[in-house]
């Protein structure tokens, strides 16, 4: 029965609420009707456990969640306290692997700002909460679906263990993302969002970086003094970035 249901559901769009439900103000249990496969907005008064999640970029150009995986018991209501300790915007989305994948593809076409109970988007330095009830057992996923971030490391598995015997054993849909295409360095256009002269860092909202196989997004780069000196917030530039000692670095600019 469960398997039949699963097959049918998979054929439909799993992330429907993220698109169909319009906007809600916050994810604090104000939303009742919307149940997803991964569960539903939880009641803040009935929280079983609090989990702190940090989102940030690393020095070598990865973007991560801490912790990087979650183990939850079926029926548990979890309060996620989410902190963006990074230097750019991130989001925390709870869904099935397939749901996140579909949603990610949609976001690659258009950076949607959404505010559903299963997700929260936070500016750098920002923090927020999601209260969520994991109604079903199975393997789910938390992820940041801002273009490029998933590929840079921002996703992790959520294992919800069954309460009763033989409940849903979900097929694990592994999504392999390959990032091996190499192209010669070309100038990419970008707009400077922030310059940190002291740390030798610059935040650039940029087009696709073909040589690094990175889609258009906003990222933090290293740059040497000579380049930093020519940068200013709000300026449009053409630049080349490379991995230098594992760190994303602006190596040329015009």
Give the binding site for Cu ion (CB under 5 A): 90, 144, 146, 149, 154
State the CB neighbour count (10 A cutoff) for residue 250: 23
Q: Which CB sits closer to Cu ion, 145 or 227?
A: 145
For Cu ion, give the closer residue by CB, 74 or 119. Answer: 119
Nearest distance from C-beta of residue 200 to Cu ion, angstroms? 22
CB 146 within 8 A of CB 90: yes
162 CB neighbour count, 10 Å cutoff:
15
Report, in Å, the least distance between residue 59 CB and Cu ion. Answer: 16
By beta-carbon proximity to Cu ion, the closer residue of 42 and 190 is: 190
DSSP states of 112-179:
-----TTEEEE-TT-EEEEEEE--S-EEEEEE--STTTTTTT-EEEEEEE-SSTT-------------
The residue among 90 and 104 lying less far from Cu ion, judged by its C-beta, is 90
Min separation Cβ 63 and Cu ion, Å:
5
Rounded to a whole number of angstroms, the minimum distance from the CB of residue 86 to Cu ion is: 7
* CB closer to Cu ion out of 56 and 201: 56
Q: What is the DSSP string of 8-77?
A: HHHHS-TTHHHHHT---S-SSS---S-EETTEEEPPGGG--EEEEEEEEE-TTS-EEEESS-EEEETT-E
Q: Least separation, in Å, of the C-beta of 69 and Cu ion?
A: 17
């Amino acid at each position: 029965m469960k398997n039949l249901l699963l097959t049918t559901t998979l054929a439909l769009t799993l992330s429907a609420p993220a698109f169909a439900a319009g906007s809600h103000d916050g994810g604090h249990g104000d939303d009742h009707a919307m149940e997803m496969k991964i569960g539903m907005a939880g009641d803040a008064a009935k929280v079983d456990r609090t989990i702190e999640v940090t989102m940030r970029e690393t020095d070598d150009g990865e973007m991560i969640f801490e912790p990087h995986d979650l183990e939850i018991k079926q029926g548990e209501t979890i309060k996620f306290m989410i902190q963006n300790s990074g230097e750019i915007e991130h989001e925390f989305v709870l869904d099935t692997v397939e749901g996140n994948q579909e949603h990610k593809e949609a976001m690659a076409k258009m950076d949607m700002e959404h505010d559903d109970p299963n997700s929260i988007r936070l500016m750098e330095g920002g923090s927020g909460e999601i209260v969520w009830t994991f109604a079903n057992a199975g393997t789910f996923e938390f992820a940041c679906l801002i273009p490029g971030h998933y590929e840079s490391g921002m996703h992790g598995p959520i294992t919800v263990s069954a309460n009763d015997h033989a409940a849903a054993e979900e097929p694990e849909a592994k999504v392999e993302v390959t990032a091996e295409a190499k192209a010669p360095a070309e100038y990419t256009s970008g707009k400077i969002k922030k310059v940190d002269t002291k740390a030798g860092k610059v935040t650039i909202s940029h087009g696709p970086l073909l040589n690094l196989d990175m889609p258009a997004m906003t990222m933090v780069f290293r740059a040497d003094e000579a380049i930093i000196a020519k940068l200013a917030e709000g300026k449009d530039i053409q630049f080349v970035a490379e991995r230098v000692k594992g760190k994303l670095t602006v190596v040329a600019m015009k």
